[in-house]
Structure 1
Amino acid sequence: MILTGILLVLITFIAIIRGYETRLVLFISGIVMCFIGGNTIAGSNAFIKELTNAGLVPTICTVLGFSYVMDYTGCSKHMVTFITRILSKFKFILIPGAVMVTFFVNIALPSAAGCAAAVGTLLIPALINTGIHPKMAASAIFLGTWGSVMSPGLMFNPQIAQMAGTDVMTVISSFSVQVLLAAVIASIILTILAVIKKENIGYKSADYKKHLTTDNFKVNYIYAILPIIPLIMLITGSKQIGLTPYVSVPTAMLIGTAIGFIMVRPNLKEATKKFFRGTGDGMCDVVGIIAAAACFTAGMKTIGLTDSLIDVMKNSQHIAQFASAFGPFIIGAISGTGNAAALAFNGAITPHAADFGYNIIQLGSMAQIGAGLGRTMSPVAGSAILIAKMANVNPFEITKRNALPTLAATIIVMVTLL
């Protein structure tokens, strides 16, 4: 049954890489493994349990709802335009600055595609107009789209917090220094590559000037601050800071949404629809894949594969260390999404972290960070395709430039976190 389980897992990830619906593939694979293992009901029970998970569902849905409202009200554009104008005044740090701006925006707007659309629309033309080659401009923006690993709304952080019996901000604070260090080093490596390739200066094209539409856009500074208000509340109210009363992630997002309604005064009917559209998409796109992955990991356990993997990892701490970082990384790079791999790893292996000499937060965080970095060099990721289209380049050109920075960042986080 172990060999059958390995074969089914390989088929599952091949199917995901080839573009089949991730949720369907994970669910079917899980049910099949449960059937072979003699407990078919285990997969469906795990699936249903995650759909009603009180720790995950409200967090993910409210974050998406808030993000949709910020986009509808234009607050996201005000924030990105404000940051872009500041960055354009310091041309000598444009490339690393663009990476880090995207990185921090992605914390507030955890959707990689949404962040790419918000930042790329403004920053890519700005970078190109200063003489940076379109391939490097696109690579800089895409390299910043793993900032979501530090977002309280990313599906993995609430999942790890629940497994570890702690709050989301405690999980994020445990790896924030390592991730920020890796992000800075990755941006510097990309800048060095730009200098070596002579893509940091000298590019001239009039085609992009017409797309730079922010010159006459008047930034409302209050609107620009609104997207980060929930994040500020969560940081200042965390156990580590304690400056303000503690609030949960859903509460912070609801308060942020309410402040947005009051300050921007949009069409309340349409804004409310946007909020609930976001919560619905959160349930569909994020909770749905978590539930399907739970069914998959239940199948792995039922067929005996999980116990076998744990036994192998018990023999070497280095195997667990490497697997948690580069297993999800490789799947993310190949498939364009590391979600399935990271969720499967966290569901099957992370609860047993103590057996390998680590704690749940360490191992689970490394898996999701590796998945995020792998996706950030994938030519088939949705955000990569979107950014490549904005810059009018081939997505594989972005992959070639981002491969070394993302590999370096993964190794840095792995060495410093585990």
Structure 2
Amino acid sequence: MNYLGAIISLLFVFIAGRLLLKRFNPHAVLLVSGLLMLIIAQILNYNLPELKDSTGFSGFDLFRYIKESFSKTNAGVGLMIMAIGGFVAYIDKIGASDTLVYVAMKPLSFFKKKPYIAASLVIPIGQLLFTAIPSAAGLGLLLMASMFPILVNLGVSRLSAVSVITATTAFGIGPASAITARATSIAEIDTVLFFLNYQIPLVLPLSFIMMITYYFVNRYYDKKNGVDKEVHEIEKKEFKAPLIYAVIPILPIILLIVFSKIFNLFSVPISLDTTTAMFISLFIALICEFIRTKNIKEVFNSLQTFWNGMGNIFKTVVTLIITADIFAKGLISLGFIDGLLDLSQNIGFGAVGIGVVMTVMIFLASMLMGSGNASFFAFGPLVPKIAKQLGVESTQMLLPMQLSASMGRTVSPVAGVIIATAEIAKVSTLEIVKRNLIPLAIALLVMLLYHFV
């Protein structure tokens, strides 16, 4: 195999990383780097990602990738993130966020003296929610609306709070997960069986390890940075909203769990996605505001806050996800993934060695591209053939690979969940990655030892 493209792509990764560390505009760095890689791939006659509708001229097709990325993102995860961003802005305006914090702080006052324990407990709770709400960015932003203000008021820093919230998406498991669906399809095994017999026994000890490591890592960084507390004295605020408003921030989560395909609580199946749940919750909030204020004009005018929130998320978060997508396309077009695949098959290791190498490479690929799905979907289909040659079950190799894909995403500065939560928390994506790197690296090492040794 010609490794020239893979080497060039690694060079671009290094340059882009340096520029980001020097605080160059990330949108520009990712977009320009991605386009340059696509141009070089064209010159070298590499296979570029397929376009749905080519312009007919290869030079213009480079910019068609941007257009199609906008279309794909805005129609899917982009709209979802914008809807959540608008909802977060609206519940803050009407006082629902403060009300939730006020109500939650009463039973959680015990953790005032142990705030980092409370932060660590978010990880297993969020992981449980992640099985029902399998969108990393979606769940991350929902927890930013509900758990983030509570954690900050308990006494942890904003960075500590957002780090444990992103950590809840570190393991893409459960029947509703796209990575799980792909893994079970490749292994030809029942999804629920894979979830119960393979994923849960491995993820439980890993979640416990992460709780411990996040406790010490966050406490260390907060002490090092001189952050003792960033507590907002919610108790001293004069509430304009009734206490029942505390339900509004968590209403989308309740809706998504109640109508989840996992539970099938209704005889007639009801499918509810995150974006729809956000709009339902918004209109319930509007009705509550009308009942409280009795002023229809004021309620209608308040809706502008929602649209403004959506717009703010679009110009900061969604556009960055789109430029990151172009960057990932550039890496793929230069043979970055193919190079890793070829290397993994020619190292000469046995089943354990190849399993470890492919697991680590998927982790790194997800970290670079910001997408667990992209890396696993590229590597996964090769497993049955490799497993057959080595005389092992496909599940033995697929399980750690699919977990490392979502783990790598959690330490990627260009991942949607990192970008979106960082914007809401007003913190740096690189600072979140710094908090996440040690716990996730330890979890990856423990997973490899636990599963393969």
Offset at residue 101 of structure 1 (A): 4.8
Superposed CA deviations along residues 138-168 of structure 1, whole A, max 9, x for unmatched, are: 785354232562899xxxx9996999999xx
Superposed CA deviations along residues 112-138 of structure 1, whole A, max 9, x for unmatched, are: 9877972454221xx7xxxxxxxxx77
Counterpart Cα distance in 2 of 1:165 and 1:287: 31
Alignment-mate amino acid for residue 63 of structure 2: S
Offset at residue 212 of structure 1 (A): 3.5
Counterpart Cα distance in 2 of 1:308 and 1:194: 36
Which residue matches 1:271?
Answer: 302
Q: 1:411 to 1:240 in 2, by over 3 A?
A: farther
Offset at residue 12 of structure 1 (A): 1.7
Superposed CA deviations along residues 383-402 of structure 1, whole A, max 9, x for unmatched, are: 899689xxxxxx89x97x97
Offset at residue 32 of structure 1 (A): 1.0
Does 2:69 align with 1:44? Answer: no
Offset at residue 253 of structure 1 (A): 0.7
Which residue matches 1:311?
Answer: 342
Whether the 8 Å contact between 1:238 and 1:246 is mirrored in structure 2 is yes
TM-score of the pair, normalised by structure 2:
0.63
Q: Secondary structure at the match of 2:63?
A: helix
Q: 1:117 to 1:78 in 2, by over 3 A?
A: same
> Which of 254, 279, 301 is equivalent to 1:254?
279
Which residue matches 1:325?
Answer: 363
Whether the 8 Å contact between 1:324 and 1:363 is mirrored in structure 2 is yes
Alignment-mate amino acid for residue 212 of structure 1: E
Q: Secondary structure at the match of 2:169?
A: helix
Whether the 8 Å contact between 1:56 and 1:158 is mirrored in structure 2 is no
Which residue matches 1:146?
Answer: 166
Report the identity percentage.
20
Does 2:95 align with 1:96? Answer: no
Does 2:25 align with 1:25? Answer: no
Offset at residue 356 of structure 1 (A): 3.9
Whether the 8 Å contact between 1:223 and 1:264 is mirrored in structure 2 is no
Which residue matches 1:392?
Answer: none
Superposed CA deviations along residues 302-334 of structure 1, whole A, max 9, x for unmatched, are: 3333322232244533222113335656xxxxx
Count of matched residue pairs: 370
Q: Secondary structure at the match of 1:89?
A: helix
Whether the 8 Å contact between 2:167 and 2:436 is mirrored in structure 1 is no
Aligned-residue CA RMSD (Å): 5.0
Offset at residue 264 of structure 1 (A): 3.3
Which residue matches 1:34?
Answer: 38
Offset at residue 417 of structure 1 (A): 9.8
Whether the 8 Å contact between 1:16 and 1:22 is mirrored in structure 2 is yes
Q: 1:213 to 1:62 in 2, by over 3 A?
A: closer
Offset at residue 283 of structure 1 (A): 2.5
Q: 1:142 to 1:237 in 2, by over 3 A?
A: closer
Counterpart Cα distance in 1 of 2:308 and 2:178: 23
Alignment of 1:15-414 (within 5 A): 15-38=19-42, 40-53=59-72, 54-89=75-110, 94-101=115-122, 104=126, 110=141, 118-119=149-150, 121-124=152-155, 141=161, 143-147=163-167, 149=169, 182-189=206-213, 212-214=233-235, 220-244=242-266, 245-265=270-290, 267-315=298-346, 316-325=354-363, 341-343=369-371, 346-347=373-374, 350-356=377-383, 366-372=404-410, 405-411=439-445
TM-score of the pair, normalised by structure 1:
0.68
Alignment-mate amino acid for residue 214 of structure 1: E
Counterpart Cα distance in 2 of 1:271 and 1:148: 32
Whether the 8 Å contact between 1:96 and 1:184 is mirrored in structure 2 is no
**Segment drifting more, 74-83 vs 33-42:** 33-42
Offset at residue 252 of structure 1 (A): 0.7
Q: Secondary structure at the match of 1:239?
A: coil
Offset at residue 246 of structure 1 (A): 1.7
Whether the 8 Å contact between 1:75 and 1:227 is mirrored in structure 2 is yes
Alignment-mate amino acid for residue 28 of structure 2: L
Offset at residue 52 of structure 1 (A): 1.0
Q: 1:260 to 1:292 in 2, by over 3 A?
A: same
Offset at residue 409 of structure 1 (A): 4.1
